[in-house]
A and B are shown apart, each in its own frame.
Chain A
Amino acid sequence: MSANTPRGYTYPYYTDLANAPSQIQDLATDIDTDHTVIATDILDAQHAPSVNLTKAVIQSIAANTNVTVTWNTEVFDNNSMANLGVDNTRIQLQTPGYYLISGYVQMGVAASGAMSVTLTSSGGVSLNPVAMSRAFDNDKGTGMSWCVLHWAPVTPDNVTVVVRHNGPAAVDVQGASLSATKVAD
């Protein structure tokens, strides 16, 4: 009869039948398994799931309407969070945890009105306001940037960026970026 340490390493009792090769192999195998788990955890922590999308194609945003921003370029993605060929409106968080989500939206001009940016999450957070609203200008564009912590307890979690404004007519999104990086389990 053998016993185990709290980490699961097997060792013989003094009264056990001596079988050094088998007992040492058991111990070595247990330590091997444990080290692999530790090494994997450390390496995973240093390769945090991260994604960065950008937008270069003009998108018209109707007034007084929530419009989801579309994305054109997958700049970086180490966790299959973007698949623009399937859905160009979202990133899809693949592993549960806490994510830092940041980005910006550059809007065109409007004679009056203001804009806002919100994030939506299929995990339950809907229209989470993330950026200060900004008034439009009649001949200068308006940019809004944000950085927010988001909890995704269940995945996949689809995160989208929603723009709204109350200008007198449609206003273009001229450029944008969206990124997410996991900061904790």
Chain B
Amino acid sequence: MPGTTPRGFPYPVPADPADVAGAIEDLATAIDADLATINSYAVPRGMAQFLGTVTNTVPGTATSGLLTWQLTDFNTTVRDVQFVDPATQAVTPVTGVNTTVLLPQHSGFWQIMASVQLRTTVPGLGVDMIGVEILVGGVVVARETVHDTAFVADLTHMIDASAGVFLTAGTAVSLRAQVARASGTSPVEFGTRSITLMRMSKP
């Protein structure tokens, strides 16, 4: 009856029949299987980045609107356990041009970072606050605003927001534009934007 190490590697004991070749084979086989298990732990980090290239307009009758995503810069393939789980992308692929909800497909602690290039407005239109919010399951987890609305009509203003949050697989992540007006009904345009989601830790 061979002995075993804590990880289950067999070795002969003096009372065993002498079979060095067989004992080494048994040990080698056990090491091989254990290395395969350890290798299964080493899985790629899940991360994705999406770009919004279509200008989104918050009309003069609204104070907010979800921003849309059109392009995928990257969206890594992830297995929670290498060679065991089916490979899925970090985030459900974006299809169409009106996607507003991003769905991470793996639970864990995620870092979310978003930047928006603002289609600025012109002075005197009554807009006195523009902002973006990161929403997780409909709840605000980060917000950045600016009141510097005496802009020229050009894409010269950037705004960004970041959050680290625990997400369960399938939780909706969105970026919401905010507009507040002191007067008038001027629409506000939000231009080129990106959102990056990166899984920092397994559950």
Partner-contacting stretch, out of A99-107, A151-159, A162-170: A99-107
Contact of B144 among A50, A52, A75, A143 (CB under 8 A): A143
A-side contacts of B163, CB under 8 Å = 102-104, 145, 177, 179
- Which residues of the other chain, B, contact A43 by a CB distance below 8 angstroms? 41
Of the 9-residue stretches B11-19, B86-94, B97-105, B186-194, which lies at the interface with chain A? B11-19
Asked if A5 lies at the interface with its beta carbon under 8 angstroms from chain B, I say no
Q: Is the CB of B161 within 8 A of A145?
A: yes
A interface with B by C-beta (< 8 Å):
20-21, 24-25, 27-29, 31-32, 35-36, 38-39, 42-43, 46-50, 52, 75-76, 78, 100, 102-104, 106, 134-137, 139-147, 175, 177, 179-183
Question: Chain B: residues with CB nearer than 8 A to chain A?
Answer: 3, 5-7, 9-14, 16, 18, 20, 23-24, 27, 31, 34-35, 37-38, 41-43, 109, 111, 113, 128-129, 131, 133, 140-148, 160-166, 180, 182, 200-202
* Number of A-B residue pairs having CB atoms within 8 Å of each other in the complex: 154
- Contacts A29-B5, A48-B201 given; indicate if A20 touches B20 (C-beta within 8 A): yes
Q: Which residue of A lies closest to B27 (CB)?
A: A28
Known pairs A104-B161, A139-B128 / 13 extra A-B pairs, C-beta < 8 Å:
A24-B11, A24-B27, A25-B11, A39-B38, A43-B41, A52-B164, A76-B165, A78-B201, A102-B111, A104-B144, A134-B147, A143-B131, A180-B164
| CB < 8 Å neighbour of A32 from B7, B140, B161, B202 | B7
Which residues from chain A contact B3 at a C-beta distance below 8 Å?
25
Instruction: Tell me if B160 and A145 are in contact (CB < 8 A).
Output: yes
